[in-house]
Structure 1
Amino acid sequence: MTPSRPEHWSLHARQWRHIGPPLRPCTQDIRIFEQRIAAWHAETRPADDSVALLLGVTPEIAAMSWPARTRLLAVDHNLDMVRYVWPGEAGCADSMAVCGRWQQMPVRKAAVSMVIGDGCFILMDFPEGYRRVADVLHQVLLPGGCLISRFFTRPAKAPTVSQLMAGLENGTIRSFDAFRIQLAMALQGDDVEKGVCLNDVWQAWQNADIDKEQIARNLGWTPEAMALMDNYRGQPTRYFLPTQKEVGQIFGERFDLVEFFTGDYEMADLCPIMRFVPQR
């Protein structure tokens, strides 16, 4: 019997240092997170022992500047992500990471002042998976709390696979990380409820009739970055990529959207940072 491959995020955890923007937050994203949380904190003046809930263990977020006396709790479903990606020391004095499911958050109701995440909803089936987690976050947030997250979204008209391959050849797509997520968008198309299987993304790359070695030289791709596509091989995991409007509709059932930001890096327009406040 052929042994099963490690879980998708277990593979990514061991190669995390080779992943780049937009699949990881860049300096612009972190600056937006810091500024908006600082502004919210100054406006609302939450309790001195405010709890911030981090969805996942994104090290750039953990290490960023936090308001004074913030306690940070990171929750990730994958133990390898906690072991290999969590930085250990965060940007606040009191922090810890635990393994758990966001659908059953290991915190009491109305115990969290702020929730923050980066691209973390991509594995949630749409719309029900998004809705279930949004409901839980609404329960754990205090009145007047803050939910801020960067989302991976697709354009109203997703590119075709052939258009993406042409973009690689003419240099309009530069980053291999940006290409990988756009290839997933192209294969999913408008059927967000179906999503896209990661093995299908890998297969489409294998079938591409392009000179990959020449493109890699032209665009400066490293072998380590390109090898990340192999993490998708044989993976039944699915990505779900809604439009910005679809994200707003689901979260709008429980939250009010108060701010919306994008950077100016490659594909930033499809990676918006949205800040919500819970409805009461």
Structure 2
Amino acid sequence: MAAPFQFFQQIKEHVGTVAAQQRAAPAFEPVELMCNNRDACHAPPALGFISVLDYAFEYNAGLGPGMTDHWNAIRGHWKLLGPPLRPPTEAVETYHRELDLSEAHVVLLGVTPELAGLGATMMAVDESSDMIAGIWPGDTASRKAVKGDWLDLPVSDASVDAVIGDGCLSVLGLSTARRALFAAIARVLRPDGRAGLRLFAGPETPDDPAAVQALALSGGVSTFHELKLRVAMTATGRAPDHAIPVRTIAERFDALFPDRQELSARTGWDLPVIATIDVYRNSTAIYSFAPPAQLVAEAEAFFNDVRIAPTGGYGLAERCPLLVLRSPKV
């Protein structure tokens, strides 16, 4: 298992290897990202000496315009979102209970407003200026939000008491990107530091679409936002990525629920809330919904102490546990 700094060196070496292959074979076949059990979407062939890994990091690790545009679009519908996509009170309390943040200097990945009050001091890091302007509850003497890159956090090595995030692993489309984030977190944590990331964790095999459809139409799904996650988890790709293009979620939803009026009538969900799925339609982002065991295994390359903690009893909470990370490897 690679320590954080060794991991980035391995990334660099891999990029060089792939670039050399491309120079030797210009017709190098593009990598397949499995989108569901039948289809595959292809990362485009490299231009020049840019590797598939570069492409993955640029567009799926929160570094490029695709993910920024996606979150800028979501910002306009933020007030319509709810649990489990946004953390309810019992999930926020889990961060307190598991991480002991009352006197901690905290780095928040993203600008989740429900988490903005945690810690003695906080720096929130988000790549989207629009999200900071529109979602962040505001800087104070003890907290501030900055535009930045999660994989190159704007803090010194071993200087932070705690790192927290909500659903941040699922916005990374590749296992490679998730491991890079674990490495970045390990770099900035003090030796006695800790991290907590609430997961949107999928099953080992995709859920049955017909079962999800029946559950929703019978009133068995608590919120429309729970349904969006359940629909996504019917179409995730193979291990280790467990990825799905965001626009595929909208397409799968349309196939399962073509009559929104009927869905609204059976569930009581307002049509504007159901329409939040349309933000996904033109997105170029890729999400991932890896099972807990996969995420624990990835994290264990960078932390000596990794465990899963429940976050409450809200709808789909069983798939939204807190991944708790301690004792970073150096």
TM-score by length of structure 2 reads: 0.74
* In 1, Cα distance between equivalents of 2:243 and 2:68: 21
* In 2, Cα distance between equivalents of 1:219 and 1:28: 24
1:147 paired to 2:195: yes
When structure 1 is superposed on structure 2, of 122-131 and 237-246 the one drifting more is 122-131
Residue from 247, 264, 269 that aligns with 1:216: 264
* Alignment correspondent of 1:262: 311
* In 2, Cα distance between equivalents of 1:166 and 1:229: 19
CA RMSD of aligned residues (A): 2.1
Q: Is the 8 A contact 2:158 2:190 kept in 1?
A: yes
Percent sequence identity over matched residues? 27
Q: Is the 8 A contact 2:260 2:271 kept in 1?
A: no
Partner letter of residue 252 of structure 1? E
Q: Is the 8 A contact 2:150 2:184 kept in 1?
A: yes
* In 2, Cα distance between equivalents of 1:274 and 1:240: 16
Structure 1 SS opposite 2:144: strand
Unaligned runs of 5+ in 2: 1-65
1:82 paired to 2:144: no
Residue from 23, 30, 33 that aligns with 2:92: 30
Residue 80 of structure 1 and its aligned partner are, at CA, apart by 1.1
Residue 250 of structure 1 and its aligned partner are, at CA, apart by 0.5
1:53 paired to 2:84: no
* Alignment correspondent of 2:14: none
1:15 paired to 2:64: no
* In 1, Cα distance between equivalents of 2:290 and 2:308: 19
Q: Is the 8 A contact 2:246 2:285 kept in 1?
A: yes
Q: Is the 8 A contact 2:198 2:322 kept in 1?
A: yes
* In 1, Cα distance between equivalents of 2:173 and 2:289: 9
* Alignment correspondent of 2:146: 98
Any idea what the Cα deviations from partners look like across 1:7-47, whole Å, max 9, x if unmatched?
A: 11101112111100000000110111122233x76xxxxxx
Q: Is the 8 A contact 2:257 2:263 kept in 1?
A: no
1:231 paired to 2:279: yes
* Alignment correspondent of 2:297: 249
Partner letter of residue 17 of structure 1? K
Q: Is the 8 A contact 1:187 1:196 kept in 2?
A: yes
Any idea what the Cα deviations from partners look like across 1:184-229, whole Å, max 9, x if unmatched?
A: 1111154452611111111122233554312212212122211110
* Alignment correspondent of 1:62: 116
CA, structure 1 residues 192+175, in 2 after alignment: closer, same or farther (shift >3 Å)?
A: farther
Partner letter of residue 253 of structure 1? A
Q: Is the 8 A contact 1:5 1:234 kept in 2?
A: no
* In 1, Cα distance between equivalents of 2:326 and 2:216: 40
After superposition, where does 1:91-240 map in structure 2 within 5 Å?
A: 93-193=141-241, 195-208=243-256, 211-240=259-288
Q: Is the 8 A contact 1:165 1:208 kept in 2?
A: yes
Partner letter of residue 125 of structure 2? V
* In 1, Cα distance between equivalents of 2:159 and 2:67: 38
1:73 paired to 2:123: yes
Unaligned runs of 5+ in 1: 42-47
TM-score by length of structure 1 reads: 0.87
CA, structure 1 residues 209+143, in 2 after alignment: closer, same or farther (shift >3 Å)?
A: closer
